[in-house]
Amino acid sequence: MNRLKIALTKGRLEKSAIELFEKAGIDCSPLREDTRRLIHTLPTEPLDILLVKAQDVITYVEHGVCDLGIVGKDTILEHGNSFFEILDLGFGACRFVLATKKGEDLYGKYRDIRIATKYPKVAKNYFEKMGMNVDIIKIEGSVEIAPLLGLADAVVDIVETGTTLKENGLQAVDDISRVSARLIVNIASMKINRTQIMEFVDKLDSVL
Ligand code: PRP
């Protein structure tokens, strides 16, 4: 039996993914150790888990060096290209929103509005559907600062608890889409390792 490789998003999704695996009866003890190791060989399953950044989950799966990946739908919408998205894992639930400073009249301006975002593709698709021309400014993080400093009129960003928006005096003015963690599979690997992959998928699915 081949050992399957799964790229797992470090940080926000990591803990919930490990909890889900354990609920499905998969021994994740190597991942529970306090270590900086990035590749973990599971003792009871033919699975190796690699801890990587969200965008890199997609890169590794698309290039076929990992068979599977666990990554947020937000990253898939922004960076995904070709793989199978096979399960909605439910955790990591948040939403994409358009948000402005409280009281801002976003649509009353006599110029194209400026949008700051970590997700230019998601923002572009949203405003294209709305039939609006906008200037999109790519920001790498702490996007909520951009409207406060006047760099942008609004942001397109993910909201989980709403605390960051609230504590920075912003409010959501439109919901764009819901996102959560997804299990993705490399297209060739799905053909070659179908039985083994589907056994793993069924194991996870049974405890969702
Ligand atoms: C994300 C997102 C918001 C925040 C939302 O940022 O971009 O800023 O979390 O979470 P909340 O609704 O629970 O407050 P992240 O923490 O990933 O950091 P970043 O802004 O540096 O990318």
**Residue among 78, 155, 159 whose CB has most ligand 1 atoms within 8 A, to mutate:** 159
Q: Strand, coil or helix: what is 148? A: helix
Mean pLDDT of the chain: 96
Q: Which amino acid is at 67?
A: D
pLDDT of residue 10: 95
In sequence order, what are the residues at sequence separation of 6 or more whose Cβ sits closer than 8 angstroms to the Cβ of residue 15?
Answer: none
| Confidence band for 188, pLDDT divided at 50, 70 and 90 | very high
In angstroms, how far apart are the furthest CA atoms of the chain? 63
pLDDT of residue 151: 97
Domain ranges of the chain: 4-92+180-206, 94-178
pLDDT of residue 1: 75
Per-residue pLDDT reduced to its tens digit, 126-171:
999 999 999 999 999 999 999 999 999 999 999 999 999 999 999 9
pLDDT of residue 110: 85
Q: Is the CB of 120 under 6 A from ligand 1?
A: no
CATH architecture designation of domain 4-92+180-206: 3-Layer(aba) Sandwich (3.40)
pLDDT of residue 2: 86
**Residue among 160, 166, 170, 176 whose CB has most ligand 1 atoms within 8 A, to mutate:** 160
Per-residue pLDDT reduced to its tens digit, 54-101:
999 999 999 999 999 999 999 999 998 899 999 999 999 999 999 999
Atom of ligand 1 minimally distant from the CA of 162: 12
pLDDT of residue 35: 86
- Cα 111 from Cα 46, distance rounded (Å): 57
pLDDT of residue 102: 95
Fold match, 4-92+180-206 / 94-178? yes
Contact between 147 and 101 under an 8 Å Cβ cutoff? The reply is: yes
- Full-model pTM: 0.94
β-bridge pairing 4-9 and 68-72: parallel
Separation of CA 105 from chain center: 30
pLDDT of residue 167: 97
For the domain with range 94-178, which CATH number is right: 3.40.190.10, 3.30.70.1290, 3.20.20.70, 3.40.50.300? 3.40.190.10
pLDDT of residue 108: 84
Q: What is the mean pLDDT of residues 96-113?
A: 92
